[in-house]
Amino acid sequence: MQVEPLLPQAAPKPPLVPRPLSRAVDTFFYDNKIVRDFGIATVVWGIIGMLVGVLAAFQLARPEANLGTQFTTFGRIRPLHTNAVIFAFVGNGIFTGVYYSLQRLCKTRMFSDVLSKLHFWGWQLIIVSAVITLPMGLTTSKEYAELEWPIDIAITLVWVVFGWNMFGTIARRRERHLYVGIWFYIATFLTVAVLHIVNSAALPVSLFKSYSAYAGVQDALVQWWYGHNAVAFFLTTPYLGLMYYFLPKAAERPVYSYRLSIIHFWSLIFIYIWAGPHHLLYTSLPDWAQSLGVAFSIMLIAPSWGGMINGLLTLRGAWDKVREEPVLKFFVVAVTAYGMATFEGPMLSLKNVNAIAHFTDWIVAHVHVGALGWNGFLTFGMLYWLWPRLYRTPLHSKKLATTHFWLGTLGILFYAIPMYWAGFTQGLMWKQFNAEGMLQYPNFLETVLQIVPMYYLRGIGGVLYLSGVFLMMFNLYKTAKAGSLLANEKAQAPALLPAAEDPHAEGGHWHRWIERRPFQLAVGATIAILIGGAIEMIPTFLVKSNVPTIASVKPYTSLELQGRDLYIKEGCSNCHTQMVRPFRSETERYGEYSKAGEFVYDRPFLWGSKRTGPDLHRVGAKYPHSWHYNHMLDPTSMSPGSIMPAYPWLFDQDIDYSTLPSKISVLRQLGTPYPAGYEQQAVADARRQAASIVSDLKKEDIEVKSEKEIVALIAYLQRLGTDIKVKPEQAAAQ
């Protein structure tokens, strides 16, 4: 163990810019305990989230890793992983950094200790409720917004507490101007609030079931506006704010360029919002919206890189420190990973690249470069920097931290390279035609089995990365043991003079005007982030030609609706898309490409974002009922070698008809044209359809009771994508 002099108090540096000390000086205390608490939560949830991630990774390599229970099957585990790492690990990471830096940048204690505590425990409770409800299959299926409506409301409330506490602190600041880090915090707070409220809009059916306020194409647009900007405003802007505080602090160097930070802040938040549709290229989303997504994604390169440049150039003159200081090592890789991911993103938004990469593991690789590299490494660096300061003692072991750094870097490489390989391989295999004009790999499974070895390697990468986090936990624990928590850190600063007497209250660079006015800054940021979303969403909702109706498309029957809700509950859309893209390779494989009008009764839309298994939009009437029955009981019986888990519980559990009448009435309120009074007939109608499926199965010697869940699921699967094949006269006759 190395012993070195303590940094914060022991080495006071003369300020680079001398400041006149003519005013009365206030003494106050920074709340370090809340920072420590959020820091511990970050580490604990990080380990849990990544453990679940490693489990999910190996489930794709070996179906046995699904552990044979419904609570641990991939479809339910994968949302748990994403929620845990995004909202629990990164979320707590954000709050750790914000609570530490905001107090110091505003020269005041947090506005209210009560709000801080409410925020902390409220957030942890939300995560615990996610850990309980997601494995139970209580999910909306909308990616990164899977939590059901009561939890959504709780998130809103806790978010308000956070905002109240943050703006209260800003209002009480002893610093006239807001630092660039705080601009990013404010933009984060406001945008996440808007995204969360708009995307979570739904009508409840019961305590844990709701239907999205939007259907089909519109739901898809809202969801990916949200999904994309969750990446932007939960994983990117708050972390840029943290970078602007912790990187110059750790490097002890001035920020490279103030004016660069102004330009890249405003351009980033304005342009980011528009790019959501790049998640929906070659889908049934109107072409104009797709093109806007492409155009704005390309324009996003420079604003994103502005952050990277300002970070890396701030390190000029401190590169010798990078060699010795693990904190800076983490920061350098984090900022570089950010640069790589934000260059790759726009490239993936080009339609010709997207045609190959979308729905494959390439995207998985891309997001993990961002998540493991940018978010993970910045968090680790920040925690290693904070702990000695919170506990007033040097870090237990720099060597261990450096080992963590190398393990993590190796983990990222082991994760990303196989996934790029797998994505590229599979994307090309899907599209390959032979000389006879037929698909070279007509059997989807063949393209999966080709990349299973990559799934193993990726799992190993995850284990390496996670083992580094365990080292960090040990290192931080030992550091905390060696020191004692400085719960309330004494600080001094002069009070702000009234604006009339303050020479700093006017003039300066033109942007200083808004830096003195948090309210105007917040309004400006809100306007910047509302424009893009509004221009893309309003026409898609109001202009009818954007979703051409198809007369033969009818609402789901009550049994199909039950089956669809089971599809959602089991998380089928985590591996199966319902979106046949307009490519010859896809129409040959799956059938007619998907049309916008086919999804008008889909609440929520289930297009999916990844094809671990084949697309299911045209699976209806493709196989006999018995095929699905056998396949769900044991996928390998129908597809030898399949990596899909078995779903035996669907054969034991009864369909829950108790909420069916209210499902019908909620859907009617949202606009699905069920006839009046259908609520009363819905259950009987479902039982009738179930009985007919059961009798079909009996013809093939399969005995199943009509109230079992599998029957409803078969009803839904057999309906999928078939409406379009109904001739108009048939539809009229019905």
Partner 1 sequence: MLTSMKFRFPAALTIAALLLNSLQAVAQTPEAAAPAKVAGMSSQQLLFWVLISLLIFLLLVLLLSFVGIAVQMRPQLRKVYELPTVRHSWSGRVLGLLVGDATLVKGEVRDELLDHDYDGIHEFDNDLPPWWKYSFYATIIFAVTYVSYYHVAQAGQLQGAEYETEMRQAALLVSPDADDPNKLTTYQPLATPADLSEGKSLFASNCAACHGQNGEGKVGPNLTDEYWLHGGEVNHVYKTVKFGVTSKGMVAWKGKLSGKQILQVSSYILSLRGTKPAGAKEPQGEKETK
Site for partner 1 in 14-43 (CB under 8 A): 15-17, 19
Which residues in 573-632 contact partner 1 (CB under 8 A)? 582-584, 587-588, 593, 621-627, 630
CB of 183 to partner 1, least distance (A): 12
Distances (CA, A) of 255 to 196, 312, 316, 337: 33, 10, 10, 20
Nearest to 305 by CA among 244, 364, 260: 260
User: Least Å distance between CB 103 and partner 1?
Assistant: 9
653's tokens: 């559990």
Token pair 């009480």 in the structure block, residue: 172
CB of 592 to partner 1, least distance (A): 11
Q: How far apart are CA 351 and CA 337, in angstroms?
A: 23
Which residue in the set 9, 432, 637, 669 belongs to the binding site for partner 1 (CB under 8 A)? Answer: 637
Q: Which of 295, 353, 356, 633 binds partner 1 (CB under 8 A)?
A: 295
Residue 654: DSSP 8-state: B
Residues 225-264 that bind partner 1 (CB under 8 A): 245, 248-249, 254-261, 263
**267 vs 402 by CB, closer to partner 1:** 267
Between CA 23 and CA 493 the distance in angstroms is 9
211 versus 331: smaller Cβ distance to partner 1: 331
- How many residues touch partner 1 (CB under 8 A)? 72
292 is a site residue for partner 1 (CB under 8 A):
yes
Structure tokens, 511: 């942007």
Name which of 628, 647, 638, 650 is nearest 719 in CA terms: 628
Q: Would you say 288 or 319 has its CB closer to partner 1? A: 288
Residue number with CB closer to partner 1 (134 or 180): 180
**Rounded Cα distance, 182 and 191, in Å:** 14
Longest dimension (CA), the chain: 94
CA–CA separation, 657 vs 254, rounded Å? 64
Footprint on residues 418-457 left by partner 1 (CB under 8 A): 433-434, 436-439, 442-443
**Nearest distance from C-beta of residue 349 to partner 1, angstroms:** 11
Binding mask 103-122 for partner 1 (x = CB under 8 A): -xx-x---------------
Among positions 169-188, residues that touch partner 1 (CB under 8 A) are 175, 177, 179, 181
Is 176 or 478 the residue whose CB approaches partner 1 more closely? 176
Least distance between partner 1 and beta carbon 489 (Å) = 12
Q: Minimal CA–CA distance to 38: which of 87, 83, 97?
A: 97
Minimum distance from residue 580 beta carbon to partner 1 (Å): 11
Distance in Å, CB of 496 to partner 1, minimum: 14
Q: How far apart are CA 57 and CA 462, in angstroms?
A: 8
Residue closer to partner 1 (CB basis): 11 or 542: 11
695 makes contact with partner 1 (CB under 8 A): no
List binders of partner 1 among 647-666 (CB under 8 A): none
Tokens 């989303």 -> residue: 285
Helix (H) or strand (E) holding 428: helix 398-431
Give the whole-angstrom CA distance, residue 389 versus residue 386: 5
Q: At what angle do helices 91-106 and 33-61 cross, to 10 degrees?
A: 160
Taking CB under 8 A as the criterion, which residues in 303-332 touch partner 1? 303, 305-306, 309, 313
Residue 211 pairs in a beta bridge with 203
Nearest distance, CB of residue 616 and partner 1, angstroms = 15
Instruction: Provide, rounded to whole angstroms, the least separation between the CB of residue 451 and partner 1.
Output: 18
Pick out residues in 459-518 that bind partner 1 (CB under 8 A).
509
Give the nearer residue to partner 1 in terms of CB position, either 198 or 295.
295
Q: Concatenated DSSP letters for 20-86?
A: ---S-EEEEEEE-HHHHHHHHHHHHHHHHHHHHHHHHHHHHH-GGGGTTSGGGSHHHHHHHHHHIII
Question: Stretches 21-29, 78-86, 288-296, 334-342: which one binds partner 1 (CB under 8 A)?
Answer: 288-296
Nearest residue (CB) to partner 1, 3 versus 11: 11
Cα 172 to Cα 263: distance, rounded to the nearest angstrom: 27
Say how many residues make up the chain.
734
- Interface with partner 1, residue 301, by CB under 8 A: yes
- The answer to whether residue 728 forms part of the interface with partner 1 (CB under 8 A) is no
Nearer to partner 1 by Cβ, of 179 and 421: the residue is: 179
Q: Are strands 209-212 and 488-494 parallel, antiparallel or unpaired?
A: unpaired
Interface with partner 1 in residues 382-411 (CB under 8 A): none
Least spacing, CB of residue 536 vs partner 1, in Å: 13
Pairing mode, strands 202-206 and 488-494:
unpaired
CB atoms under 10 Å from CB of 22, counted, come to 7
Q: How far is the CB of 165 from partner 1 (least distance, A)?
A: 19
